Amino acid sequence: MDLRPARADRRALLGHPRPGGLASGTWFSTVDEELSAAGVPPRLGISEIILSGPPVRLPFPGDTVPWMGTFPTARAAEFVAAHEAVFDLVEPEVRETAEYFVKAMRFEAEEWEAAEEADRVNDTLFFWCS
């Protein structure tokens, strides 16, 4: 199932970032607010992942609305635990959205553990939304 909104709807969905990395008035900010009220720390919010910005300044993308986020791989397991702990306390639509990210982060947490055991470094996750 493709959950990506049509290009015209993406601008409204992602909104414009405000200080702290959240996009004011978007579905992701709504999800973050409900998860935060249930106990998920803001630093583990979904908006923090997808809207935190690139690690370096990038050129203006033109007529698209790309968003890039980064997240420390070492915190992936913490992200999963925090979100799974509150799933029963949030609305089904919020849970459904969060589950997509939890699934990805669970995989990354397992990869992080495997990398540590193999003495490799996988330190940052990158997210691109366009």
What does the pLDDT look like over 71-106, one tens digit per residue?
A: 888 888 999 999 999 999 999 999 999 999 999 899
Which one has a higher pLDDT value, 64 or 72?
72
Nearest to 26 by CA among 53, 5, 43: 5
DSSP string covering 20-55, please?
TS-BTTSHHHHHHHHHHHHT--GGG-HHHHHSS--S
Q: Residue 125 pLDDT > 70, yes or no?
A: yes
Contact 129, 110 (CB under 8 A): no
Q: How confident is the model at residue 66 (pLDDT cuts 50, 70, 90)?
A: low
The mean predicted confidence, pLDDT, of the chain is 76
Taking only the tens place, the pLDDT of each residue in 33-56 is 999 999 999 999 988 888 777 767
Question: 73 vs 4, which has greater pLDDT?
Answer: 73
CA 86 to chain centre: 16
- pTM as predicted: 0.68
